[in-house]
């Protein structure tokens, strides 16, 4: 039977197993919206700004491992979506974004609401397509999902001109795709894996360093098993938290710019570094010249271009984290004799010494709410089981430091692009994916205002997100840098004319709470969490002068931390 | 690579976004019209070339990539050059063209247009050998290349 392009698109989404689409209508996508209207298999979530659609789709993907889908109109719809696309790209999140386009005969004419969406998004997508014939629509969509979800995942944009959505053709769901130019590897080279295992077992001061790739690649369980078997210390990057239980004694906490003293010192002094699904980002390595200078490095990654990009490695292994870890574990178990017990024991003794600095300790106060205190309590009240999204700034770092994630897919933040405004719409995506779970959005009074309009979406779809605002009346992270590196000249980092967040939440139909007394922190959190059906906007008035410690200043090595 | 609209801009965009430098670039369809072949000349340390290779391979439209400098290979470039050629000067230009195995492909009373193919250095040498005053216009195709022997770039 012949279907219109719009009908094909919607049928395809259903056949591909897509349950939710985050979007916003407009002229170029009206046929698609009409097709959505006539069915009930694919649910459309109406956001209030296209940036929200892409972040929500992104949050959905990060919390499920399945691709998120967004639908926006041409021109301003597409440009508004770009921040969310770039955010997903930097963190390798599988996502398909369908953008409407002006009719093919008008392309290139500066038509109403025309932008070159393929051109604008090219540098921040894994791939993108402009569909030129309705006959190509279904297979192009199939390719988009295939590319987005395989290899190193990432966002794919499909630009669909309006006339294509009206044109008719036969529809058959394309079950399979073959692309001669795209064949992602899966299994790592077995010889390399054997060499890696040998090196691991010869280590005297080993260190495991893992990133977002382990979460995305579903390697968490295998990683945990291997780490326990070896008895080695392990650290996670900001993106990798939750891949290894945050409460385990082998876990040294996060590493990098605001990582723990023990994690960074162990990195600096290790003799064998096992990097898995991590990309040696500049926020992790500090000064690259001084990075792990004593170590032989094993690097497992799905993306060959991540290997030896920033740091030269000794044993590169290209493959999916899951497959490689499976092979590693098998080989490890077959081998007689484990790691050098005495050496590892001495190494742990050293690490325990570093741990004693208790680098995350902070001064509590009976008068003013310390931001760290809020997060410690959030962790306790939710028993570490919440999905936590965050925005960008100090609150993000404190969330990463103080919420001990013990499962993958639970910690959702914009690590690579550092996009303020990500937290709330991402939380919507998470809550849609997990309607019965607790979803907390940790944010600042600066960040939350960047996508605050999504409070309306939350009401419309009954999303009982708990917004934890650490309100320090400052763009705190900016203020911290100005305090440290600009002699306290606080240029434009003070937040004036703040709204009354309680009233604001109420006017959107939600519950608002303002918490000023440290004694109220835990009770207020309990009260909010008990409101299972309501979004609660919690405005914690926190200490204005608190800084995130430890900190590695730009240009310094991992062993040159500012502790307090 | 795939003979798709936008494939070229993906390559060019990659080079500009990552700060690599394109010395020359040629591209045309192959005998299989769904594919085109691009020859790109760039320069960099071993690490940079390794990154460029990996990044190019990552582009979805790139089907296969070969670093010709890893083996013996042939490079060719074409030069079209228009020179002033009058009276006794005509003889001189013709002789030079002969020496460089070029051919004169267009003639007016005042000028010759010459075609020369060869390694880039040969084209440089020809331009050097000409009196600068005589050159009206030059156009170069950029380098294309192929491996020597039986080795070939096949999909
Ligand atoms: C869209 C965007 N604009 C600017 C920045 C730069 N930036 C990084 S952190 C920060 C301050 C964030 O302030 P707030 O949300 O109040 O959080 P706090 O640091 O106070 O916890 C700014 C402006 C950014 N990351 N994203």
Picking from A118, A130, A308, the nearest residue to B50 by CB comes out as A308
* Rounded distance between C-alpha atoms, residue A81 and residue B18, angstroms: 23
Helix axes A5-15, A30-37, angle to 10 degrees: 50
Mean pLDDT of B106-131: 96
**What is the residue-averaged pLDDT of chain A?**
97
Q: Is the pLDDT of residue B1 over 90?
A: yes
* pLDDT recorded at residue A564: 79
Q: Residue-wise over A400-424: b if at least 16 C-beta within 10 A, else e?
A: bbbbbbbebbbbbbbbbbbbbbbbb
* pLDDT recorded at residue A98: 98
* A440: β partners: A388, A466
Evaluate: CB of A452 within 6 angstroms of ligand 1: no
Which residues of A are catalytically annotated? 50, 112-113, 162, 477
* Cα–Cα separations (whole angstroms), residue B33 to A200, B2, B11: 50, 9, 19
Could you list the beta-strand ranges (E) of A124-167.
127-130, 155-161
Q: Is A91 left (phi over 0), alpha (psi -120 to 50) or beta?
A: alpha
Q: Is the pLDDT of residue B85 over 90?
A: yes
* Rounded distance between C-alpha atoms, residue B144 and residue A21, angstroms: 47
CA distance, residue B55 to nearest chain A CA (Å): 6
* pLDDT recorded at residue A391: 98
Q: Is the pLDDT of residue B5 over 90?
A: no
Which residue has the least CA distance to atom 5 on ligand 1?
A420
Residue A90 Cα to ligand 1 midpoint, Å, equals 17
* pLDDT recorded at residue A331: 97
* pLDDT recorded at residue A337: 86
pLDDT tens sequence across B15-43: 999 999 999 999 999 999 999 999 999 99
3-state per-residue secondary structure call for A311-350: CCCCEEEECCHHHHHHHHHHHHHHCCCCCCHHHHHHHHHH
Of A323, A458, A417, A430, nearest to A123 by C-alpha is A417
pLDDT tens sequence across A368-378: 999 999 999 99
A466 close to B (CB below 8 A): no
- Is A127–B2 a contact, with Cβ atoms under 8 angstroms apart? no
Question: DSSP letter string over A525-544?
Answer: HHHHHH-TTS-EEEEEEB-T
DSSP designation for A305: G
B40: phi then psi, degrees, rounded to nearest 5: -125, 130
- Is B13–A122 a contact, with Cβ atoms under 8 angstroms apart? yes
* pLDDT recorded at residue A550: 96
Of B46, B55, B76, B67, nearest to B12 by C-alpha is B55
pLDDT tens sequence across A404-427: 999 999 999 999 999 999 999 999
3-state secondary structure of A279: coil
- Is B155–A309 a contact, with Cβ atoms under 8 angstroms apart? no
Given pLDDT bands bounded at 50, 70 and 90, which one contains residue B88?
confident
Residues 101-160 of A with CB under 8 A from B: 118-119, 122-123, 126-127, 130, 147
Evaluate: CB of A417 within 6 angstroms of ligand 1: no
Mutate to test the interface with A, among B58, B61, B64 (most CBs of A within 10 A): B58
A264, A240 in Cβ contact below 8 A? no
Which ipTM was obtained for this model? 0.92
**What is the residue-averaged pLDDT of chain B?**
95
Evaluate: CB of A238 within 6 angstroms of ligand 1: no
B33 CB burial (10 A radius; 0-12, 13-18, 19+): exposed
3-state secondary structure of A75: coil
3-state secondary structure of A56: helix
- Is B9–A122 a contact, with Cβ atoms under 8 angstroms apart? yes
Structure tokens, A512: 């608002």
Q: Which residues contact A444 (CB under 8 A, 6 or more apart)?
A: A391, A393, A394, A395, A469, A470, A471, A472, A475, A476
Given pLDDT bands bounded at 50, 70 and 90, which one contains residue B65?
very high
Where helices occur in B1-155 by DSSP H, the ranges are 7-17, 46-58, 88-99, 120-129
State the sign of the Cα–Cα–Cα–Cα dihedral A490, A491, A492, A496. Answer: positive
3-state per-residue secondary structure call for A224-254: HHHHHHHCCCEEECHHHCCCCCCCCCCEEEE
Helix axes B7-17, B46-58, angle to 10 degrees: 140
Could you list the beta-strand ranges (E) of A238-302.
251-254, 272-276, 296-301
Could you list the beta-strand ranges (E) of A137-193.
155-161, 168-170
- Is A130–B5 a contact, with Cβ atoms under 8 angstroms apart? yes
- Is B60–A126 a contact, with Cβ atoms under 8 angstroms apart? yes
pTM over 0.90: yes
Residue with tokens 């007016």: B108
pLDDT one digit per residue (tens) for chain A, 564 residues: 899 999 999 999 999 999 999 999 999 999 999 999 999 999 999 999 999 999 999 999 999 999 999 999 999 999 999 999 999 999 999 999 999 999 999 999 999 999 999 999 999 999 999 999 999 999 999 999 999 999 999 999 999 999 999 999 999 999 999 999 999 988 999 999 999 999 999 999 999 999 999 999 999 999 999 999 999 999 999 999 999 999 999 999 999 999 999 999 999 999 999 999 999 999 999 999 999 999 999 999 999 999 999 999 999 999 999 999 999 999 999 998 899 999 999 999 999 999 999 999 999 999 999 999 999 999 999 999 999 999 999 999 999 999 999 999 999 999 999 999 999 999 999 999 999 999 999 999 999 999 999 999 999 999 999 999 999 999 999 999 999 999 999 999 999 999 999 999 999 999 999 999 999 999 999 999 999 999 999 999 999 999 999 999 988 999 999 997
Evaluate: CB of A395 within 6 angstroms of ligand 1: yes
Residue B70 Cα to ligand 1 midpoint, Å, equals 47
Question: DSSP letter string over B104-139?
Answer: EEEE-SSEEEEEEEE-HHHHHHHHHHS-GGGEEEEE
Structure tokens, A251: 């876990």
Picking from B2, B54, B60, the nearest residue to A304 by CB comes out as B54
Residues from chain A contacting residue B62 (CB–CB below 8 Å):
181
Picking from B13, B55, B63, the nearest residue to A305 by CB comes out as B55
* pLDDT recorded at residue B153: 86
């Amino acid at each position: 039977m012949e279907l219109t392009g719009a009908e094909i698109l919607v049928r395809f989404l259903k056949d591909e197993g897509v349950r939710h689409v985050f979007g916003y209508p407009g002229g170029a996508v009206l046929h698609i919206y009409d097709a959505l209207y006539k069915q009930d298999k694919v649910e459309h979530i109406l956001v209030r700004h296209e940036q929200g659609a892409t972040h929500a789709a992104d949050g959905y993907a990060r919390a499920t491992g399945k691709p998120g889908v967004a639908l926006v109109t041409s021109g301003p719809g597409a440009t508004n979506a770009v921040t969310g696309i770039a955010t997903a790209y930097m963190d390798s999140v599988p996502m398909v974004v369908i953008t409407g386009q002006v009719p093919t005969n008008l392309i290139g004419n500066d038509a109403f609401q025309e932008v070159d969406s393929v051109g604008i998004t090219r540098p921040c997508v894994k791939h993108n397509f402009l569909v030129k014939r309705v006959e190509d629509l279904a297979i192009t969509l199939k390719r988009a999902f295939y590319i987005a979800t395989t290899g190193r995942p990432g966002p794919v944009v499909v630009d669909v001109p309006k006339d294509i959505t009206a044109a008719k053709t036969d529809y058959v769901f394309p079950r399979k795709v073959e692309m001669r130019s795209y064949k992602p590897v899966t299994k790592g080279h077995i010889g390399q894996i054997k060499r890696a295992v040998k090196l691991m077992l010869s280590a005297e001061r080993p260190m495991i360093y893992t990133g977002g790739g382990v979460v995305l690649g579903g390697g968490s369980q295998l990683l945990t098993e291997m780490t326990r078997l070896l008895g080695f210390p392990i650290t996670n990057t900001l993106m990798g938290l939750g891949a290894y239980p945050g409460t385990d004694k082998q876990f040294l906490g996060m590493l990098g710019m605001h990582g723990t003293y023990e994690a960074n010192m162990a990195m600096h002094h290790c003799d064998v570094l096992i990097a898995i699904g991590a990309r040696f980002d500049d926020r992790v390595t500090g000064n690259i010249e001084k990075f792990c200078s004593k170590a032989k490095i094993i690097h497992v990654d799905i993306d060959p271009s991540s290997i030896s990009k920033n740091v030269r490695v000794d044993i590169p292994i290209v493959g999916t984290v899951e497959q490689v870890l499976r092979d590693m574990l098998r080989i490890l178990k077959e081998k007689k004799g484990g790691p050098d017990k005495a050496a590892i024991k001495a190494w742990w003794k050293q690490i325990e010494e570093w741990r004693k600095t208790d680098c995350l300790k902070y001064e509590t106060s009976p008068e003013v709410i310390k931001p760290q205190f809020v997060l410690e309590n959030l962790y306790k009240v939710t028993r570490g089981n919440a999905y936590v999204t965050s925005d960008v700034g100090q609150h993000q770092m404190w969330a990463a430091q103080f919420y001990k994630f013990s499962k993958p897919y639970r910690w959702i933040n914009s690590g690579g692009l550092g996009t303020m405004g990500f937290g709330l719409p991402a939380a919507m995506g998470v809550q849609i994916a997990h309607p019965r779970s607790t979803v907390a959005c940790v944010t600042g009074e600066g960040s939350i205002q960047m996508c605050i309009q999504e409070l309306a979406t939350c009401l419309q779809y009954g999303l009982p997100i708990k917004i934890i605002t650490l309100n320090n009346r400052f763009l705190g992270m900016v203020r911290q840098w100005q305090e440290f590196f600009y002699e306290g000249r606080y240029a434009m980092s003070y937040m004036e004319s703040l709204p009354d967040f309680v009233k604001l939440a109420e006017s959107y139909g939600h519950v608002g709470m303002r918490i000023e007394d440290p004694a109220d922190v835990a009770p207020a959190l309990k009260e909010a969490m008990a409101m299972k059906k309501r979004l609660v906007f919690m405005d914690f008035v926190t200490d204005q002068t608190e800084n995130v410690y430890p900190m590695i200043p730009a240009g310094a090595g991992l062993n040159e931390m500012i502790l307090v | 690579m795939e003979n798709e609209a936008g494939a070229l801009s993906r390559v060019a965009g990659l080079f500009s976004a990552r700060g690599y430098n394109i010395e020359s670039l040629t591209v045309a369809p192959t005998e299989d019209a769904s594919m085109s072949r691009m020859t790109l000349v760039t320069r960099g340390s071993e690490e940079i070339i390794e990154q460029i290779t990996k990044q190019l391979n990552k582009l979805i439209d790139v089907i296969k990539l070969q670093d010709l400098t890893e083996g013996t290979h042939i490079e060719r470039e074409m030069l079209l050059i228009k020179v002033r050629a009058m009276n006794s000067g005509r003889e001189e230009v013709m002789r030079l063209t002969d020496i460089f195995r070029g051919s004169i492909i267009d003639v007016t009373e005042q000028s010759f247009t010459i075609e020369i193919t060869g390694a880039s250095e040969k084209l440089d040498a020809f331009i050097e050998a000409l009196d600068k005053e005589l050159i009206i216009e030059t156009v170069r195709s950029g380098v294309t290349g192929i491996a020597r022997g039986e080795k070939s770039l096949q999909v």
